[in-house]
């Protein structure tokens, strides 16, 4: 399994071959990633704009808009430094060099080992962490160093405490977190005495701000246990 800090990251997998797509998806889910799928270039562009994933796994031979054009669009039009790993059957050195010139971070030729692809994804994310510095999951994107948060490209105006709560939830998707665990995540050294009631109030405010942007309830109360952040 990967390091815990990678859990809760979204991967956009752009591949028109369903067998390859499903196989890679199984490996990604096993490693703790959220998988967003696209089967052609138009679909990929829409999902990049809407969900701003952490990394793009991009097949070059796509129907409609091909992978080279998607890569060029991400780098030149969006001005995004989103990590990109290209998947292709083109094995010549010239093709690889062209891919890197377009802005790819890595290049994997078909047929490939899904296990090796997982290692390459981890390496690219580690290498680009300072460049990208973001966490993206279920439509939410946050930049911890800047204290900025968005949902589907709409800015969330959060207090420091609300931001820390959202960051914590995104790092532990699908897990029920007790109020005591939330306190220990937010205040690692328990330097402040904060009551369970205070946690509830901050979560209520965070939920309210999220609901202003979307009707979905991402933070669920688990009666008698705590709270859970769920993908929709």
Phi, psi of 191 (to 5 degrees): -70, -10
CA distance 8 to 142: 12
Residue 2 in this model has a pLDDT that exceeds 60:
no
* Count of C-beta atoms within a 10 Å radius of residue 154: 11
The predicted pLDDT at position 99 comes to 74
Residue 21 in this model has a pLDDT that exceeds 90:
yes
CA distance 121 to 137: 16
Same fold, 4-133 and 157-229: no
Domain range annotation of the chain: 4-133, 157-229
Average pLDDT over residues 211-231: 91
CA distance 157 to 209: 8
The predicted pLDDT at position 199 comes to 86
Residue 171 in this model has a pLDDT that exceeds 60:
yes
Please, which pLDDT band fits residue 189 given cuts at 50, 70 and 90?
low
DSSP state string for 97-131: HHHHHHT-SEEEESS--HHHHHHHHHHHHHHHHHH
Per the structure block, which two tokens stand in for 143? 């930049």
Report the mean per-residue pLDDT for the chain.
Answer: 87
Residue with more model confidence, 2 or 147: 147
Residue 5 in this model has a pLDDT that exceeds 50:
no
Phi, psi of 209 (to 5 degrees): -70, -35
The predicted pLDDT at position 4 comes to 40
157-229 adopts what CATH topology? Arc Repressor Mutant, subunit A (1.10.10)
* Count of C-beta atoms within a 10 Å radius of residue 12: 24
CA distance 63 to 138: 26
Q: What percent of the chain has pLDDT over 70?
A: 92
Q: Is 26 helix (H, G, I), strand (E, B) or coil?
A: helix
Average pLDDT over residues 85-110: 82
Phi, psi of 35 (to 5 degrees): -105, 125
The predicted pLDDT at position 118 comes to 96
Residue 195 in this model has a pLDDT that exceeds 80:
no
Place of tokens 């998947």: 87
Place of tokens 């939830």: 169
| Paired strand residues for 137 | 140
The predicted pLDDT at position 206 comes to 96
CA distance 70 to 66: 6
Q: Is 19 helix (H, G, I), strand (E, B) or coil?
A: helix
Q: What tens digit of pLDDT does each residue of 44-81 get?
A: 999 999 889 999 999 988 988 888 899 999 999 998 88
For the domain spanning 4-133, the CATH number is: 3.40.50.2300
| Paired strand residues for 219 | 229
């Amino acid at each position: 399994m990967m390091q815990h800090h990678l859990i809760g990251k979204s991967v956009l997998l752009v591949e028109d071959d369903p067998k390859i797509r499903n196989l890679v998806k199984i490996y990604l889910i096993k490693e703790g990633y959220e998988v967003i799928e696209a089967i052609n270039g138009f679909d990929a562009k829409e999902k990049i704009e809407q969900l701003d994933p952490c990394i793009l796994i991009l097949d070059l031979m796509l129907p409609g808009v091909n992978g080279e054009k998607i890569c060029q669009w991400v780098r030149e039009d969006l001005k995004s430094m989103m990590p990109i790993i290209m998947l292709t059957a083109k094995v010549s050195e010239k093709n690889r060099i062209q891919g890197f010139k377009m802005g790819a971070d890595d290049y994997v030729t078909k047929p490939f080992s899904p296990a090796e692809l997982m290692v390459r994804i981890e390496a690219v994310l580690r290498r680009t962490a300072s460049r990208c510095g973001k966490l993206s999951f279920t439509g939410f994107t946050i930049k911890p160093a800047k204290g900025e948060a968005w949902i589907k490209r709409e800015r969330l105006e959060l207090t420091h405490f609300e931001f820390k709560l959202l960051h914590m939830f995104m790092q532990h998707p699908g897990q029920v977190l007790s109020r005591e665990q939330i306190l220990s995540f937010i205040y690692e050294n328990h330097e402040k005495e904060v009551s369970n009631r205070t946690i509830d109030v901050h979560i209520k405010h965070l939920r309210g701000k999220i609901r202003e942007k979307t009707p979905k309830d991402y933070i669920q109360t688990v009666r008698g246990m705590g709270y859970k952040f769920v993908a929709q």
